[in-house]
Amino acid sequence: MKKLTTKIMDNGKEKEIAVFLDDETARVLEECGDKELKHGYIVEEYKYQLIERRETRRHQSLEKSIEGGHEFVDHKADVEQNLEKKEEIEQLYKALKFLTKKQMYVLRLHVLEQKTFQEISEIMGINLYTV
């Protein structure tokens, strides 16, 4: 491994950056004699290594969190289950369209107001078995 350096402008200040490259790549860059090519390669490699370092740290941090007992759940990850729920809701709305006003009233009393069938029978003045 060989260390290659170049200078860049960072927030208006000149900064020297360095990367470690395998011997063959470093030799080719030095022998080509094209300073702009060498500079560009070092800058791109530097960016790549920064990204890799950040990703490695992020993964290590995530692994430590998981080892520490923290659980990360993505509720959107179970696409199939969410799709099934959506389909069930659509079916429910379709079925509700076929109910009469009287049937909707019974449903509202039972589900939303949590009335018993006996109470609904008394409220509406209809037979318990009709409810």
Mean pLDDT over residues 102-110, rounded?
89
Quick one: 28 and 55 in the same domain?
A: yes
Residue 129 lies in a domain: no
Mean pLDDT over residues 103-120, rounded?
90
Quick one: 20 and 62 in the same domain?
A: yes
Residue 49 lies in a domain: yes
Beta-bridge mates of residue 6 = 17
**Strand, coil or helix: 19:** strand
Count structural domains, the chain.
Answer: 2
Task: Give the integer Cα–Cα distance in Å for 49 and 39.
Answer: 15
Higher pLDDT, 78 or 105: 105
Task: Give the integer Cα–Cα distance in Å for 106 and 84.
Answer: 27
Instruction: Write out pLDDT tens, residues 9-63.
Output: 888 899 999 999 889 888 888 888 888 889 999 999 999 888 888 888 877 777 7
Quick one: 42 and 90 in the same domain?
A: no
Quick one: 115 and 85 in the same domain?
A: yes
Quick one: 85 and 51 in the same domain?
A: no
Task: Give the integer Cα–Cα distance in Å for 98 and 111.
Answer: 17
- pLDDT bracket for residue 122 (50, 70, 90): very high
The reported pTM is 0.45
Handedness of CA 48, 51, 52, 53 (dihedral sign): positive
Q: Which domain holds residue 11?
A: 2-67
